Structure 1
Amino acid sequence: MNNAELSRFRQLIETRLAELRNENTLGQDGQKTVELDQQSVGRLSRMDALQNQAMARATQARRDAEDSCLRAALTRMDEDEFGYCEDCGEEIAPGRLAFDPAVTRCISCASG
């Protein structure tokens, strides 16, 4: 992989990391503790709020996992290991990396 392609993938990863940081900021309100005051919120409304809170936390966990994978991809770039399959060592197709720059396996190894 040449330097221009690596630079393009690095930019793609850094852009997505910035988007994740922004989404984390926006999603923090949904994870706040739900008030259990019967006077201010009815039972069904409270159940809805608890469900929304659980979904917000699950979404946060997915963002955290994606963040971790993208940071690992940046580390692989720094170590000149980016773009190579961790199983067979062959180059991963640029189209596959463009779709998901955090991918670590070529299509052959990923499909079994």
Structure 2
Amino acid sequence: MTDPRAALEGELAELRAARDGTSEARRPVVLDQQSVGRLSRMDAIQNQAMAAGEEARRSARITVLEAALARVDAGTWGLCVDCEEPVEAARLAFDPAVLLCLDCRQG
């Protein structure tokens, strides 16, 4: 991969835009029994919980991508964090934020 920064920053931008677009879905559910029925409230609570879970996964990936950008800045991107040997190009092409070479991943 010739420019890991572009790929990492592109994915970060997508995740941040998605986070901004789903903020309404993660808001607490108002339990007004006069305006909605029991099943509608249960659906709303389930949808809110799924949106919160999705945001947790998104936030974790943002953290991973930011750490990969820090490795780019430090000049250590593409090196296994365990053995410090180069990570296979195919692994980096698939996920530019990968931390481990295949040997360390399997070991």
Which of 89, 98, 102 in structure 1 is aligned with 2:93? 98
Q: What is the CA deviation profile of residues 46-72 of structure 1, one whole-angstrom value per residue up to 9, with x for unaligned ones?
A: 011101101101100111110110000
* 1:1-112 map, 5 Å: 5=2, 8-112=3-107
TM-score by length of 1: 0.91
Give the residue type in structure 2 aligned to 1:105: L
Give me the CA root mean square deviation. Answer: 1.1
Give the fraction of aligned pairs with identical amino acids, expressed as a percent: 50
Q: Distance in 2 between matches of 1:68 and 1:15?
A: 14
Give the aligned length: 107
Moved over 3 A (4+): none
Gaps of 5+ in 2: none
Deviation string for 1:65-90 (max 9, x for gaps)? 10110000010111111100111111
Alpha-carbon distance between aligned partners in 2 of 1:95 and 1:79, rounded to the nearest angstrom: 22
2-structure distance, mates of 1:79, 1:45: 51
Deviation at 1:17, TM superposition (A): 0.6
State the TM-score, normalized to the length of structure 2.
0.95
Cα distance in 2 for residues equivalent to 1:60 and 1:70: 15
**Partners of 2:101 and 2:86 in 1: how far apart?**
7
Once the two structures are superposed, residues 13-71 of structure 1 have per-residue CA deviations (whole angstroms, 9 ceiling, x without a partner) of 01001101110111111111211111111111101110110110110011111011000
| Higher RCO (C-alpha under 8 Å, 6+ residues apart) | 2
Structure 1, unmatched stretches of 5+, are: none
